[in-house]
Amino acid sequence: MLNFEFKNPTKIIFGKETIAKISSEIPKDAKVLMLYGGGSIKSNGIYEQVKNALVNFEVIEFGGIPANPEYAVLIKALEIIKSEKITYLLAVGGGSVIDGTKFLSSAALYEGENPWDIVSKFIRTEIGMPFGCVLTMPATGSEMNSGAVITRAETQEKYGMGGPGLFPQFSILDPQVIQSIPPHQIANGIMDAFSHVLEQYMTFPTQAFLQDRFCESIMQTLIQVAPTVIENPFNHEAASNYMWSCTMALNGLIQKGVPTDWAIHAIGHELTALFGIDHARTLAIIAPSHYRYNFEAKKKKLAQFAERVFGIQEGTTEEKANAGIIKMEEFIHSLNIKTRLSEYTPNFEGTAEKISDRFIKRNWLTLGEHKNLAPSDVEKIVKMSY
């Protein structure tokens, strides 16, 4: 087990009918900017619940934050924060709204001239404007971590940002919100969370026995509840296990003391930037090829995955490892998610070279848990994913 530090101060309020508790979490004298996305919260009852909870607060609204939170849109919200002297942010949405709110939390207190520097220059946020979340779409884990991913359309860029100042003060997780999520988005959420676990698990054996088992626990739970929650999001037990699994998949706990990979996310982000493919689906496209390309380095962990998550007891390490990849693909397909780039776009030719070039330009020359994946390797992995 590697040395680590872990601190996660976010307060989770989990369960049915918990949205009303917002009112006891936000300071009474706060001036609140309530941020949300495309407006689905207005048709599913969440908007009304939030507004009822905020009835005694001074609130300004900012809707329209798009999937893959767009810098140009966020800058408009930043202007409101400054002109209206906002003191507290409330994200009501999924990962995109929460990530956008994290950017705003940082930018609101940033003293530099250009807020894009926070993202492009990887400036760590030590203190942000306080914010809370009402999660409407379990997937990214952003509700209980201090990271965010921000997109800038004009340059087709998608970058991570973060820092200890960007933990939500509280996040409300009411599994009932899942009832109004379309099945393909629930599938995306399951895929995203599953992939988060894979990135922190599928490296090499490090004798972090407890962390391994926690990872396997999350993956087993997602596999167990996936059919039910997609079929019937009113099933409270499936919905709540899905929701809590997504949070636990990326709240920092399972990555402590172990190496992590994250190459799949790095490559996947490019597919979203280039083609607008749903984030979760880019992970489904890249993961199987990534594991086949890096088979030798990862085969022991792939075999453990096959044994413990899918119960495969027969065969050599290599056979089990291969079976693990196949089982993983079958699970992804069971979510009705396709695993080849050519199934998403006819314009896939040249993508591998384009992504490789972009990694070279950014000096991203050492991906993966061994920091030995060069842009030429990335190119081959993307080609294998066509």
Are 31 and 86 in contact, with CB atoms under 8 Å apart?
yes
Are 103 and 91 in contact, with CB atoms under 8 Å apart?
no
Smallest separation (angstroms) from its own copies to the CB of 336 = 22
Smallest separation (angstroms) from its own copies to the CB of 44 = 20
Are 58 and 51 in contact, with CB atoms under 8 Å apart?
no
Nearer to its own copies, 210 or 326 (CB): 210
Q: Distances from the Cα of 157 to the Cαs of 71, 141, 331, 381, in angstroms?
A: 10, 22, 30, 20
Smallest separation (angstroms) from its own copies to the CB of 9 = 4
Nearer to its own copies, 14 or 364 (CB): 14
Smallest separation (angstroms) from its own copies to the CB of 217 = 3
Alpha helices (H) in 134-208, listed in sequence order: 183-201
Between CA 360 and CA 42 the distance in angstroms is 44
Beta strands 58-62 and 31-36 are: parallel
Between CA 312 and CA 343 the distance in angstroms is 30
Smallest separation (angstroms) from its own copies to the CB of 300 = 15
Interacting residues with its own copies (CB under 8 A): 1-16, 18, 175, 207-210, 213-214, 216-218, 220-221, 224-225, 236-237, 240-241, 244-245, 248, 256-257
What residues contact residue 108 under an 8 Å CB cut-off, 6+ apart? 78, 81, 82, 86, 89, 128, 129
Nearer to its own copies, 194 or 214 (CB): 214
Nearer to its own copies, 244 or 275 (CB): 244
Nearer to its own copies, 2 or 55 (CB): 2
Nearer to its own copies, 9 or 183 (CB): 9
What residues contact residue 243 under an 8 Å CB cut-off, 6+ apart? 14, 135, 138, 173, 175, 178
How many residues belong to the chain? 386
Nearer to its own copies, 245 or 322 (CB): 245
- Residue 201's φ and ψ, nearest 5 degrees, are -120, -45
Smallest separation (angstroms) from its own copies to the CB of 167 = 10
User: What crossing angle do the helices spanning 209-231 and 295-310 adopt, rounded to 10°?
Assistant: 60
Smallest separation (angstroms) from its own copies to the CB of 10 = 7
Both tokens of 132, joined, read 């809370």
How many C-beta neighbours within 10 Å does residue 317 have? Answer: 14
Smallest separation (angstroms) from its own copies to the CB of 381 = 31
Q: Which residue do the tokens 């492009």 mark?
A: 120
- Residue 323's φ and ψ, nearest 5 degrees, are -60, -35
Nearer to its own copies, 10 or 106 (CB): 10
Nearer to its own copies, 64 or 257 (CB): 257
Smallest separation (angstroms) from its own copies to the CB of 50 = 18
